[in-house]
Structure 1
Amino acid sequence: MTDFEKELKKNPNTSSDTTQGITAEFSAFRSFAMQALTMLQQQVNFLAQTIDTMEMRGRRKILLLHGIPETKEEDTAGVVVRVVKEHLKLDLEVPDIKRCHRMGRSTQKPRPILFKLHNTALRDGIWFGKTSLKGTGITISEFLTKTRHNVFMAARDRFGVNQCWTKEGVIYVLDGQGSRHQVSSLVDLDDIGVPSEASRHMQGRPEQRIKQPGGSAAAVAKVIAPKTKRVARR
C-alpha cells in the first residue's frame, strides 16, 4: 500500500488518466450496446410484421357480420346465407361456407358472426356489395389481426369513422386535405399528423365531408358556396 502511495505521488496524473480511460471505455461500450439493442429491436419489429402479414393472409377468406340478433339454437350459416341473398342479391349457399360461428362470450349485445368462405371471388363479391346494407343496421367488416385492429380503431378516433377503411387487411386513411395514406402501425399515423380543428369540423358536416373513394375514383370534397344576401336599392 505504501509503495502504491509513493507511486501515486511520483505520477500525480495517473489517477486522472485512469479515470479518463475508464470513461472512454464506458462510452464506447454504451454506444455499442445501444447499437446492438437498436438492431435487435428492428429485427423484433420485422419478425412481428412478418407474422402479422402471414396471420392476415390466413384470414383472407373470413368476414364478420355485425348487427344480427342472437337466438337460441340458431343456424349461423343459414343466417349469413339469408342476409346475403336478401340484401346483397348474391347466390350463396350453406356449402359455400367453410366455417361459421359467433365470436366471443355471450353478452347483452349481439355478437358478430364469423364466417369463412371456400371461394375468394365469392368473398370479394360479398365484401364489395356490403354497401347494399346501408340503413339496415347490419354491417360487414374484415377479420383484422389484433395489431391491425388497434391501429384501425386509433385511426378512426383520430381522423373520423368516414375517413378510414380497410381493404384486404390493409388500412387506409384520408387526411384533412383528402390525400390517401396506407398505414400499418401507430408510427404511420403519427407521420400523417393530427387533423386540424377546421378539418375535424368539415368531417362532421355532410355537405363538406370528404367521402371515402369508391373503386379507383379519387376523393372529392363537396364545398357549398355561402349564399349572398341581396340588398334592395332605394
Structure 2
Amino acid sequence: MPPKTKNNDKSKHNEECDTGDRSSDTEMISILRELLVQQEKNFKLIQTTLFNSVKEATGIQISSLEKDVYSLHSRIDALEGKKSELEKKLSNSDTKVAVLENQLGKALEEIDELETYIRRPCLIVNNLSPEHGKTDEDLFVKLCNDKMININMSAEKISKIHRLHRSNNSETDQSKPLALVVKFAKDRYRDEVFKNKKSLKGTRIVISELLTKRRSALLKKCVDKFPGDRTMRSIWTDNGKILVKCGEGRALQVKSENDIDQIIQENFSQALSITDH
C-alpha cells in the first residue's frame, strides 16, 4: 500500500502548486486591470486638460480675430463713406469744370470778337519789298495809286504803318519781305483798298485782313479741309468773318472746327460724289 500513499502525496502537492499559481495569476491580472484603469483615467485627464487648454487658447485667438474683423469692417465702412463723399465732390467738381470751361470758351470768344473789332481798321500787305530811300508809307501810297483802280491814297488817310517781326518758324521763307500792317484813319479808306485788292492780281503782292491768331488758324483749316479747288468752293474773309461758298450756293460763316465738318457734310458731299463719277 505504500506506493499508493506516495502517489496521493504527489497529487496533493501538485494541487497545492496549481492553486498557488492560479492565486498569483489572479493577483497579477487584478494589478494589471488596476493599472489599465489608472492609465485610462490619466489619459482622459490629459485629454481633458489638453482640450481645455486648446479651447481656451483658441477662444482667445477667435476673440482677438473677431475684434480685428470688427475693426476692419468699421474702417471699410468709414472708407466707403469717404469714397461716397469724394465721388460727390468729384461730380460737383466735374460740373464746376464744365461750367468754367463753358465760361472760358465764351470769354475767349468775346476777347476774340473784341480783338477783331480793334483790328477792323487794319489791313496786312504781303510781299511788298522795301526800297532804299523810301518809307513804307510812301511805298504803300504808290502801290495803291499806281496799281489799284479808282483809289486816291494819301498819307493823311493812313493812321499807322509798320512791318511785322519775322516768325521763328523754320518753314517761313526768310527771304520774303516782312509783312506790312496798315492802319487807316477811317474804315471807308480801308474798305476801298480791300475791295480793290483784286487789282493786284498778277503781282506777288497780296492784301488781306489782319485776323486774330484764332481766326487765322481757323481760316487755314478751312483751306486745308474743304474739298476741291476754286471751281468748287470759295473761301474768304469779310470784316473778320470767315465765309465759305460751295458752287452756286449761299455763303456760310465758319465760327469753329465743328462748323467746318457740318458744312462739308451738308454741302460738299453731293459735289464730291458728282466729281467722283
What TM-score do the two structures reach when normalised by structure 2?
Answer: 0.61
Superposition deviation, residue 148 in structure 1: 0.8
Tell me, yes or no, if structure 1 residue 129 matches structure 2 residue 129.
no
Matched with 1:86 is 146
CA 1:21–1:177 in structure 2 vs 1: closer, same or farther (change >3 Å)?
Answer: farther
Partner-residue secondary structure (3-state), 2:166: coil
Superposition deviation, residue 189 in structure 1: 2.3
Q: Which has the larger radius of gyration?
A: 2
CA 1:201–1:147 in structure 2 vs 1: closer, same or farther (change >3 Å)?
Answer: farther
Cα distance in 2, alignment partners of residues 81 and 174 from structure 1: 33
Partner-residue secondary structure (3-state), 1:104: coil
Which structure shows the bigger proportion of residues in helix conformation? 2
Cα distance in 2, alignment partners of residues 159 and 176 from structure 1: 12
Which residue identity does 1:169 align to in structure 2?
A: G
Task: Tell me the alpha carbon deviations over residues 203-225 of structure 1, each in whole angstroms, 9 at most, x when there is no partner.
Answer: xxxxxxxxxxxxxxxxxxxxxxx
Tell me, yes or no, if structure 1 residue 139 matches structure 2 residue 206.
yes
Of residues 246, 252, 259 in structure 2, which corresponds to 1:188? 259
Deviates more, 1:21-30 or 1:152-161: 21-30
Cα distance in 2, alignment partners of residues 188 and 143 from structure 1: 22
Of residues 6, 10, 25 in structure 1, which corresponds to 2:85? 25
Cα distance in 2, alignment partners of residues 4 and 168 from structure 1: 81
Q: Is the 8 A contact 2:211 2:240 kept in 1?
A: yes
CA 1:126–1:34 in structure 2 vs 1: closer, same or farther (change >3 Å)?
Answer: same
Cα distance in 2, alignment partners of residues 74 and 7 from structure 1: 95
Superposition deviation, residue 29 in structure 1: 2.4
Cα distance in 2, alignment partners of residues 200 and 128 from structure 1: 34
Partner-residue secondary structure (3-state), 2:165: coil
Cα distance in 2, alignment partners of residues 177 and 19 from structure 1: 66
Q: Is the 8 A contact 1:8 1:14 kept in 2?
A: no
Q: Is the 8 A contact 2:226 2:260 kept in 1?
A: no
Which residue identity does 1:87 align to in structure 2?
A: K
Which residue identity does 1:168 align to in structure 2?
A: N
Cα distance in 2, alignment partners of residues 30 and 49 from structure 1: 28
Q: Is the 8 A contact 2:130 2:136 kept in 1?
A: no
Tell me, yes or no, if structure 1 residue 169 matches structure 2 residue 236.
no
Superposition deviation, residue 187 in structure 1: 3.2
Query: Is there any run of 5+ residues in structure 2 with no aligned partner, and where?
Result: 1-61, 168-173
Query: Is there any run of 5+ residues in structure 1 with no aligned partner, and where?
Result: 203-234
- Sequence identity (%): 27
Of residues 153, 158, 169 in structure 1, which corresponds to 2:225? 158
Partner-residue secondary structure (3-state), 1:135: coil
CA 1:188–1:5 in structure 2 vs 1: closer, same or farther (change >3 Å)?
Answer: farther
Superposition deviation, residue 11 in structure 1: 11
Partner-residue secondary structure (3-state), 1:111: coil
Superposition deviation, residue 24 in structure 1: 3.7
Task: Tell me the alpha carbon deviations over residues 75-116 of structure 1, each in whole angstroms, 9 at most, x when there is no partner.
Answer: 111111111112223111012111112222393112221111
Matched with 2:120 is 60
Cα distance in 1, alignment partners of residues 274 and 142 from structure 2: 39
What TM-score do the two structures reach when normalised by structure 1?
Answer: 0.71
Matched with 1:100 is 161
